[in-house]
Amino acid sequence: MVELIVSDILSKTSDDRAFVMILREREGNRKILVAIGYGEAQAVAFALKGVETKRPITHDLFRNFAEAFGATMQCVTINKVSDGTFYSNMLFRQGETLREVDARTSDAVAVALRFGAPIYIEEELLKRVSIRDEWGGAISIPITVADTGTLQKVLDKAVKDENYELAMKIKEEIDSRKVQKEREEQDVV
């Protein structure tokens, strides 16, 4: 497992209600980008800056509730990305019992910051989804992080530009998502 820390919160210029949370490995330079909403961005920023509100916001309330029942957060684990969406679990200890709670990554991070709990990601997943800085300051984002709609637009452009190598990689990713979705649907039935 690789420990991550919150590196920054950026607003998406095309939509002032959408933000990107940048998580960086504690002992390295790899980063992941997680799309989050305004409320989660505010909650993470408040926790990072130590801002106290007059009344508890949702993530403070969740911490207070957990503590009232003797639960403490042990860690957050980012365990999956599907169609550009990250999935996480929060691990709590209540006495001798460990309990895992499914959560959106943005909420899990906001709660972890309030508990002072670490955030982890599997090495293999980090390799798949981490961004890297390219020359000239451009950033290359792995196709596994992009949503399927964006991938389809890039695929169409790659075919139009006759960049068949890129088109093939994107098509393989889209096809693997379809297979994964079919498997998940079969598991539900």
Amino acid 31: pLDDT: 87
Asked if residue 32 belongs to a domain, the reply is yes
Q: Would 63 be classed as within a structural domain?
A: yes
Q: 111 and 154, same structural domain?
A: no
pLDDT bracket for residue 138 (50, 70, 90): very low
Exposure pattern of 88-98 as b/e (b: 16+ CB <10 Å)?
bbbbbeeeeee
Task: Write the CA distances from 66 to 55, 89, 159, 182, integer angstroms.
Answer: 17, 15, 52, 36
Residues 154, 124, single domain; the answer is no
Residues 69, 88: contact at Cβ < 8 Å? Answer: no
For residue 103, is pLDDT > 90? yes
In this structure, are 95 and 161 located in the same domain? no
14 with 100, same domain: the answer is yes
Is the domain of 115 the same as that of 53? Answer: yes
**Amino acid sitting at position 51:** V
Query: Which pLDDT value is given to residue 26?
Result: 92
- Altogether, the residues listed in the chain come to a count of 189
What's the CATH number where 49 sits?
A: 3.10.690.10
Structural domain of residue 180, as residue ranges? 146-188
Structure tokens at 43: 């909650």
Residues 125 and 164 in one domain: no
The pLDDT tens digits of the residues spanning 31-54 come to 888 888 888 999 999 999 989 889
Q: Are 92 and 12 contained in the same domain? A: yes
- pLDDT score at 134: 47
Q: What is the pLDDT of residue 123?
A: 92
Tell me: do 27 and 81 sit in the same domain. yes
Mean pLDDT of 124-142: 66
Band of pLDDT at residue 68, cut at 50, 70 and 90: very high
Whether residue 65 is contained in a domain is answered as: yes
Q: How far is CA 87 from CA 65, 161, 185, in A?
A: 23, 34, 17
pLDDT surpasses 50 at 136: no
Rounded Cα distance, 22 and 148, in Å = 21
C-alpha to C-alpha distance for 91 and 74, rounded to whole angstroms: 5
Question: Is residue 64 located within the same domain as residue 155?
Answer: no
**108 and 151 belong to one structural domain:** no
DSSP class of 100: E
Q: Strand, helix or coil at 14?
A: coil
In a domain, 105, yes or no: yes
Same domain assignment for residues 17 and 105: yes
Proportion of the chain above pLDDT 90, given as a percent = 46
Residue 25: what pLDDT?
92
| pLDDT attached to residue 6 | 95
Are 113 and 48 in a shared domain?
yes
Q: Is the pLDDT assigned to residue 172 strictly greater than 50?
A: yes
